[in-house]
Amino acid sequence: MSSKDQNLDRQTASLKKEKVFRIFTDTVSGSSTQRLGLDGALNYVRAGDQLIVVSMDRLARSLIDLHRLVDELTERGVSVKFLKEGQVYSQDSTPVAKLMLGLLGSVAEFERAIIRERQAECIAKAKARGVYKGRAKVLNEEQIIQARTWVGGIPKAEVARRLGIGRTTLYKYLNQ
């Protein structure tokens, strides 16, 4: 559903109003199709089920992925309901419904592109004013020193696990 910095309460509240049986969430960007919550939902639903999604941009960030996912689900006999857009898609969807999927999906993709553009502009302005600090540091100096001592005799993957970070992040700090 959302990146890990976002609060899922608003989205889960709207799903609970629908009296859903099970809620799947993601804490990675919707732009990725490799999401545990999405994979879980796709594996869970069966023919005759209805997958309820808060909005199209929560399921997919590109029109191609949106069409692929909706087509895959409807071919399996699963209907897909988008709350924000007020649309339901199934095997029985009319050509007009398929047109609406394309139109609304295009609008969602366009909105996301505009948001990213505005975000980049705001970051550039903040950098120019000297107030943009970037992403917060994951490790402090003490942890970096500890990591460097561990790397001498412990595999880097284990060092990263002990610190609660990914290997790529560990390598970034070790190369500083």
DSSP 45: -
Reported as half-sphere exposure (CB side, CA atoms, 13 A), residue 48 has a value of: 0
> How far is residue 111's CA from residue 117's CA, in Å, rounded to a whole number?
10
CA distance 62 to 110: 9
Structure tokens belonging to residue 55: 């909005």
Give the active site residue among 2, 31, 79, 93: 2
Interior angle at CA 31, CA 122 and CA 12, nearest 5: 90
- Residue 87, CA atoms < 13 Å, CB-side half-sphere: 18
Q: Pick from 56, 58, 120: which is nearest to 85 by CA?
A: 56
Provide the H-helix boundaries in the chain: 9-17, 36-44, 56-59, 63-75, 95-129, 141-151, 156-163, 167-174
Q: Is 62 assigned a catalytic role?
A: no
Between β-strands 79-82 and 87-89, what pairing exists: parallel, antiparallel or unpaired? Answer: antiparallel
Q: Which residues are designated catalytic?
A: 2
